[in-house]
């Protein structure tokens, strides 16, 4: 198997820092920063989404999760508002000035999403959806590439290579847990992936403790571990009423829990000489 | 997580048998049959493909592998002839009368492939590519759904449910090995998946010993194990010159090796009271 | 890591056949034979054990499971009769003439067991209990070495090497399922281990479909798969009243189910030109 | 399967703190402390061991690794000095006043080791060596119980239960990586195990980043992650000349690297309000 070139550390001795223009102000992901992206699993309705966006902005974040298309294991689960929710997202973006991150599942949706979102997300199930990788490789927007559930680090970097090879160099990796035999948490966070990626590649890496663990009580410890291990940031689910969430409530923090975690992350970021944002 | 309904054994007490019309004669997959689908990993050029198709027909098979779009871990590997190869496939189909199976990676290719192929394949990397599942769920052609590399049996049946729920009931499952810690073979064939699927579902199940093991010397024993365990058939790679194959040569049988295996499979099929085809 | 030498195929081009003297008549394990070892998970009491031994002998087997020391995940589970049961085992052995296989957990028990048993078993949890390997490597009795739950094939052969290196060359390997993410069955049978072991080593290999699957309804299909893949035999749990067994009843066949399976195994053994015993 | 009782959080709402008397002064493991146990993988010879013990004491540690019996995958690898090395360990202990931790592999060695060591270690391969668990459960010395390579957290707590049930309540758990499909590092550190154990049990938990990763360059980031996640301490390999170590040199830090890491750990411990020792 030919290996990755553009994703390799030797292609770029300096850590890549990605600047996201955002609706009002730019925000950076990479060396020197600890960037926390937060928000509910899915956009559920207008008022709740605008409210949580404002709350999270007040806590200090700069990038908002904006789940519109939800990949669901069962065809009978809530699949998100889809394109219908895009107006809500755009409003939240303009009202708060937060940049937004949205997962895209289908190449045919890229065009509609493009003007309204700041970072495209490729979810773990689509890490090797090569059509999607190639199409997003042709855009000029940053792409957050989640690790597949059973992807080796080499395969993950090769998936990033698909994007880089098409010309998009704004790639952010995101560890979100791998599948193992251990049944207690949803997945097993591969914390070692953080130093490994730093060693093998120049690309920034975030960690998503919410999807990885599936349990709100584990989010804090794992988030702190990720920052201490050198991750460039986090992806955290926050919901006003986790018990009433249409998806993944079990793993969502309340705004109050998130506020406390954000403060703790700030202290760790300081030890690592990173600017929290 | 809501579970599968249409894929469940209780939805259909009888084993589903899928009839594939084929270019000239129909062929069946399911109870009472042991159906062997064979061919090279990828269509590489006109003359080799027509030749191997004729050889395989002479050995006795009824369905031919027709790899046009190859999902490759690295962007720098050979990705198949794509649409360019479709004329070659159609010619092989007409000359031999064999039905053909083709993997589709992108929803935008379905329409072009539709008139020329007999079974669509969803590969393991796309088992949870829900757009692809939904689009193929709307066609009336049989779909072979490979198990994802780290998919549980429940997730696999839920992926089948996406197809069934959209109206396509001609679904064939295919076990192709799962990812484990054992490094010797490419993947670990989950032979227990055969009786489990028979217990939980009415859908037919094939086994692909070639992709699962990645080693030609293991293909025969694993193929025989699959049939003895009750699989409804096999997917086997055969290449005139495995050492010169553009992809996956390491796991391909020569026509002569395949001929011997096909005879052994015939004896096992007889013990299981299945018609080899 | 230095690798195995005495266990390697190149050390012995011929397949090793192990002759077990037995209380009355010898029985062989290895090339040319398909040897089925059967019996309850544990010896529970005198009358039931003598009865099942006689029933199994009448069905045709030559080697009996004789579980005295049961390794249990919880300290609060039934742990077997221990040394107390040895008289029952010896009686069953003399009455039926069947050879017996017993798992040993502690080096201090070897001496007491030695005169009364025909094959020592090292269970999967003890595959790397090096003290136990070394002590059993010094005896002259055959040893059945189960694969560890997460042992690679190389580690398994290196564990065999510990026994061989101490002078005991009567080693029988036994695949009993590996731990994977799939939750339906207790473990995942690595059917590919059979041809891999045949390729890398000269030692015989059995498969234990009962412990591997933990489900009686899967035992038959997996047992047949093992023999078709080239295994030298099986280890099968049989209990008069599975629902009342003190351990592992869920995976035990009734004598009647075993009788039917034994007949089917006979036909497969015949195809593989092996003598069923 | 009956579950653990004495290891459960509900048996003891307070976190257990274990006091190790030590040769001169006591040292604690548990709530309020961050205890770093360090030393070479194996005791190799007198002068090197005394030297590294003194160096590590000068850096600040209170407990020394004292590897005498090394469980090795291959019978042809260096297996440690065994009982021969005990005098060296006792001297290091007396000269430095450091407590020592030694892995025991065989129940027959416990008596000889008992007077000279402060903590017994049960290695990952022996987590379900029930004879060893029962014998160490009868002593009054603290036992560090490593998680098995493929042990679930429930199985690990049940192994602790064997020790507790025999009367030894001084049990320290140690996460040392689990086996997954990812080949880059030796094992995958399950960082989530730290908050899970804190949730399910009252027992202290350490993390061993050295054995878990097998790579010196990963030890620092993973060690920091462990402390940030709430671990009660670490087990770290340090060797004067890692490249010349008789075992596991690839993962050993030099004293200078360890000194820097120890300082960083100190800052993290402070954030977590734990006393570094």
Q: How far is CA D243 from the centre of its chain?
A: 22
Tens of pLDDT, residues C132-182: 999 999 999 999 999 999 999 999 999 999 999 999 999 999 999 999 999
Mapped onto helix, strand or coil, the DSSP state of residue A48 is helix
Mean pLDDT to the nearest integer, B240-266: 94
A225: closest chain D residue by CA: D225
State the pLDDT confidence band at A44, using cuts at 50, 70 and 90: very high
Output the DSSP codes for chain C.
Answer: ----STTBGGG-SSPP-EEE--SSS-EEESTTEEEEEEE-SS---HHHHHHHHHHHHHHT-SEEE---S---SSTTS----GGGGHHHHHHHHHHH--EEEEE---GGGHHHHGGG-SEEEE-GGGTT-HHHHHHHHTSSS-EEEEPPTT--HHHHHHHHHHHHHTT---EEEEE--B--S--SSSSB-BTTHHHHHHHHBSS-EEE-HHHHH--HHHHHHHHHHHHHTT-SEEEEEB-S-GGG-SS-GGGPBPHHHHHHHHHHHHHHHHHTT-EE-
Kindly state the greatest CA–CA separation across chain B: 50
Cα distance between residue A120 and residue A111, in whole Å: 12
- Interchain contact, C180 vs A181, CB within 8 Å: yes
Which residues of chain B make contact with A179, given a CB cutoff of 8 A? 150
- Interchain contact, C178 vs B196, CB within 8 Å: no
pTM for the model stands at 0.97
Inter-residue contact D38 to D238 (CB < 8 Å): yes
Cα distance between residue A270 and residue A275, in whole Å: 7
Nearest CA to B151 out of D61, C183, A92 is that of C183
Helix (H) or strand (E) holding D36: strand D33-39
Report how far apart the first and last C-alpha atoms of chain D are (Å, whole number): 39
**CATH number of domain containing C219:** 3.20.20.70
What is the extent of the structural domain holding A265? 9-71+81-276
Q: How far is CA A84 from the centre of its chain?
A: 22
Tens of pLDDT, residues A181-219: 999 999 999 999 999 999 999 999 999 999 999 999 999
State the pLDDT confidence band at B9, using cuts at 50, 70 and 90: very high
- Taking the CA of residue C226 and the nearest CA in chain B, the distance in Å comes to 6
- The per-residue pLDDT for D129 is 97
- Taking the CA of residue D20 and the nearest CA in chain C, the distance in Å comes to 26
C179: closest chain D residue by CA: D150
Mean pLDDT to the nearest integer, D139-149: 98
At residue C266, what are phi and psi to the nearest 5 degrees? -60, -40
Percentage of the residues of chain B whose pLDDT score is greater than 90: 97
At residue C35, what are phi and psi to the nearest 5 degrees? -105, 120
Question: What count of residues does chain A have?
Answer: 277
- Interchain contact, D192 vs A192, CB within 8 Å: no
Query: Is the residue at B133 inside a domain?
Result: yes
Cα distance between residue B170 and residue A244, in whole Å: 38
Residue of D192, D200, D267 to mutate, testing the A interface (most A Cβ within 10 Å of its Cβ): D192
- The per-residue pLDDT for C92 is 98
Query: Is the residue at D1 inside a domain?
Result: no
State the pLDDT confidence band at D249, using cuts at 50, 70 and 90: confident
Give the contacts of C3 (CB within 8 A, at least 6 positions apart).
C154, C158, D74
Q: Does C226 touch chain B (CB under 8 A)?
A: yes
Query: Is the residue at D257 inside a domain?
Result: yes
Task: Give yes or no for residue C2 having a pLDDT over 70.
Answer: no
Task: Give yes or no for residue D143 having a pLDDT over 70.
Answer: yes
Q: Answer positive or negative: Cα dihedral of C211, C213, C218, C223.
A: negative
Query: Is the residue at B101 inside a domain?
Result: yes
Query: Is the residue at B62 inside a domain?
Result: yes
Cα distance between residue C184 and residue D163, in whole Å: 31
The total number of structural domains in chain B stands at: 1
- The per-residue pLDDT for B245 is 87
Query: Is the residue at A263 inside a domain?
Result: yes
Query: Is the residue at C262 inside a domain?
Result: yes
Closest in B77, B150, B158 to A74, CB measured: B158
Residues paired with residue C160 on neighbouring β-strands, in sequence order: none
Cα distance between residue C169 and residue C139, in whole Å: 10
* Number of Cα atoms under 13 Å in the Cβ half of residue A272: 30
Nearest CA to D189 out of D197, D198, D180 is that of D180
Cα distance between residue D37 and residue D205, in whole Å: 13
Mapped onto helix, strand or coil, the DSSP state of residue A194 is helix
- Taking the CA of residue A149 and the nearest CA in chain C, the distance in Å comes to 11
- The per-residue pLDDT for A245 is 87
- The per-residue pLDDT for D241 is 94
Cα distance between residue A90 and residue A111, in whole Å: 15
Q: Does D184 touch chain B (CB under 8 A)?
A: no
Query: Is the residue at C259 inside a domain?
Result: yes
Inter-residue contact B133 to B123 (CB < 8 Å): no
Inter-residue contact D252 to D214 (CB < 8 Å): no
- The per-residue pLDDT for B248 is 81
What is the pairing mode between strands B63-65 and C18-20?
unpaired
Which residues of chain A make contact with D150, given a CB cutoff of 8 A? 181
- Across chain D, mean pLDDT equals 96
């Amino acid at each position: 198997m030919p290996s990755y070139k553009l994703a390799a550390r030797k292609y770029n001795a300096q850590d890549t820092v990605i600047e996201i223009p955002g609706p009002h102000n730019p925000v950076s992901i990479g060396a020197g920063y600890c960037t926390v992206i937060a928000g509910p699993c899915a956009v559920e309705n207008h008022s709740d989404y605008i409210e949580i966006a404002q709350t999270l902005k007040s806590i200090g974040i700069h990038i908002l999760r904006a789940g519109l298309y939800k990949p669901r294991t069962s065809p009978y689960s809530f699949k998100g508002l889809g394109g219908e929710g895009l107006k809500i997202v755009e409003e939240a973006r303009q009202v708060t000035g937060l940049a937004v991150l949205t997962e895209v599942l289908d190449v045919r949706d890229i065009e509609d999403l493009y003007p309204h979102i700041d970072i495209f997300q490729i979810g773990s199930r689509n890490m090797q959806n090569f059509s999607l990788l190639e199409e997003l490789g042709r855009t000029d927007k940053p792409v957050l590439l989640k690790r597949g559930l059973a992807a080796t680090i080499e395969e993950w970097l090769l998936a990033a290579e698909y994007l880089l090879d098409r010309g998009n160099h704004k790639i952010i990796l995101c560890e979100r847990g791998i599948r193992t035999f251990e049944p207690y948490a949803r997945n097993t966070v591969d914390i070692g992936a953080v130093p490994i990626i730093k060693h093998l590649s120049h690309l920034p890496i975030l960690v998503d403790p919410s999807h990885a663990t599936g349990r709100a009580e584990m989010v804090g410890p794992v988030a702190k571990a990720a920052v201490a291990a050198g991750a460039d940031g986090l992806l955290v689910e926050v919901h006003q009423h986790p018990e009433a969430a249409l998806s993944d409530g079990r793993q969502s923090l309340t705004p109050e829990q998130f506020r406390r975690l954000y403060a703790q992350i700030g202290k760790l970021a300081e030890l690592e000489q990173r600017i929290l944002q």
